A and B are shown apart, each in its own frame.
Chain A
């Protein structure tokens, strides 16, 4: 099921938005391959009639009254931001120039 190639790692890195240098791709490929081979043992278990469990406690929607309460001020919310301009988060360009 596994056999992770250098190209696979490159693709995964792109999906995960992590800029992995090309000289590290083989290293990650080999490690991910070994881990995937080990975890692939899950396929040995017969789970034909088993319901998947996503969470240990039964989860239901929790509602609350929609009333205003104390919240962070703009300066508190922006205090940890890497870049701020005019009381807003400043972000790198989103659209290409052309």
Chain B
């Protein structure tokens, strides 16, 4: 096994810049690793060997010609299969788009290509990003490298698993209710959901447009910041893109100084319903933050108790509308078009065969919540609760600089354990949903292993809109203190895949 796969993106960046290794060597090492372990992990849906090696060759040629390159030029990455890639399949984990090859690149893909990042392939996900375990992928589940019988989180389980399995040092995810942060938590990796509008969504297959956000994933806070800087910033192709400077995330990740900061512990996101080992590691991390000079304050956000219910009305409503475009006419699957059926019959048959159970459930739930007679009681009421949640955040941030909580109520559960119980599955997102509803940034980073099962626990940091740099500052300080305490990063305590 090549030593290169154990290196963080920032370490690889240094080795590449000093030309101690070539981008082709780095790409090949990771492609070899994928060939070795992905049969067991199944993080990738498609591996683009040729494209990755070509991109790496280009970086090497530019460097040899003395061109000034970005920090991540030549660093490999796993890309969630929800982002359009020209000439490369983009399935969204669904049979509906099994054979779709997009004719264009998503904005973040364009930016990463321009930065010389080497895209190794497309990572597995719950179908249309609906799920917390990656079990809802039409192409089979991804396995958690910590224990192959367990889930890697979801919907971005392929992205989190490829980091933990050392198949790639960086990955891209999307987060509508926790799909970057919860997978990061259960795999011992780092994931950030940026401020809504901070990263262009152009070319991301939409789940719920007022909640969706693309974000960076890595094994360290600094690596995640380096990727954040590449993908963030205004894009005229996304109407909700914020036209303002990108927060200084890399500088914050290098600083990691929280002396005098006020950190709020959210009373409603913890306690009952959270696994004992998750609570224990969280309480210990709070003590570490205090020892680093932060002032810890307990904060109450009473409307958060209704966030999950509001989310599971708003999300299905938006997704039932967004997914109406999958009608078997212009792209994707078409079933039953034998000349005897009408366009509506073909459409209904296509959607029944192309969508999995969870997608069908949510479309029907949204159709119900938006129907005449129920709109005010369900969707309208949920939107008002959304306002109350945003007000709770505003009040909290008038007292503290950031808020913290456990990222997920439990560590990784067994594959199959919650598959037939949608409500039990939804509860995984209970702590991550509030920031999506309010459009705020959030990070998950590892804070140790739960004593009862030796599986990773994540801590979530939440910040005001466009204060993403605070996540990285606090995350870096905590990461540095914990790694010093452990003697090595958390993933070095994982038994090899």
Residues of A within 8 A of B (CB): 1, 4, 8-9, 12-21, 28, 31-32, 34-36, 38-45, 47, 50-57, 59, 62, 64, 72, 76-77, 79-83, 89, 91-94, 96
B111 interfacial by beta-carbon distance below 8 Å: no
Contact at A18–B439, with CB atoms within 8 Å? no
Contact at A35–B312, with CB atoms within 8 Å? yes
B327 interfacial by beta-carbon distance below 8 Å: yes
* Minimum distance in angstroms from B107 CB to a CB of chain A: 15
Most chain B CB atoms below 10 A, which of A42, A57, A77: A42
Chosen A-B contacts, 29 in total, with CB atoms closer than 8 Å, are A8-B368, A17-B348, A18-B355, A18-B360, A18-B364, A19-B352, A28-B361, A31-B361, A32-B361, A32-B368, A34-B423, A35-B312, A35-B361, A39-B382, A42-B385, A44-B306, A45-B384, A47-B384, A47-B385, A47-B388, A52-B387, A56-B196, A64-B236, A79-B101, A81-B330, A81-B331, A82-B332, A89-B329, A92-B346
Provide the main secondary structure of the chain B interface: helix
Most chain A CB atoms below 10 A, which of B101, B333, B388: B388
Contact at B367–A19, with CB atoms within 8 Å? no
Find chain B residues with CB under 8 A from A20 CB: 352, 360
Contact at B196–A52, with CB atoms within 8 Å? no
Find chain B residues with CB under 8 A from A12 CB: 364, 367-368
B407-431 near A? 1/0 per residue, CB < 8 Å: 0000000000000001100100000
User: Which of B210, B327, B339 makes the CB contact (< 8 A) with A17?
Assistant: B327
Which of B42-50, B124-132, B249-257, B373-381 is found at the contact surface with chain A? B373-381
What's the tally of chain B residues with a CB closer than 8 Å to chain A?
A: 71
* Minimum distance in angstroms from B37 CB to a CB of chain A: 32
* Minimum distance in angstroms from B39 CB to a CB of chain A: 30
B18 interfacial by beta-carbon distance below 8 Å: no
B311 to chain A: closest residue by CB: A39
Q: In the complex, A54→B162 CA distance in Å?
A: 35
Q: In the complex, A47→B423 CA distance in Å?
A: 25
* Minimum distance in angstroms from A55 CB to a CB of chain B: 5
Contact at B342–A92, with CB atoms within 8 Å? yes
Find chain B residues with CB under 8 A from A91 CB: 329, 343
Q: Which of B326-363 contact A (CB under 8 A)?
A: 327-334, 337, 339, 341-349, 351-352, 355, 360-361, 363
